[in-house]
C-alpha cells in the first residue's frame, strides 16, 4: 500500500481511527 500522508486532505483526519478509515477508503 502506498502511503498518501502528503495529501492536504490528511489534515482533516486527526484520530487514528479516522486515519485508518481514510487510508482504507483510498486503498479500496
Question: Rounded to an integer, what distance in angstroms lies between the CA atom of residue 22 and that of residue 18?
Answer: 6
Kindly report each contact of residues 13-20 with a partner whose C-beta sits within 8 Å and lies 24 or more positions away, as own/partner: none
Domain around 23: 1-28
| Model pTM above 0.75 | no
The whole-number pLDDT of residue 13 equals 56
The whole-number pLDDT of residue 24 equals 84
Total domains in the chain come to 1
Q: What is the pLDDT of residues 1-28, one digit of tens each?
A: 566 666 666 566 567 777 788 788 888 7
Amino acid at each position: 500500500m502506498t502511503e498518501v500522508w502528503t495529501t492536504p486532505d490528511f489534515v482533516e483526519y486527526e484520530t487514528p481511527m479516522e486515519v485508518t478509515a481514510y487510508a482504507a477508503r483510498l486503498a479500496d
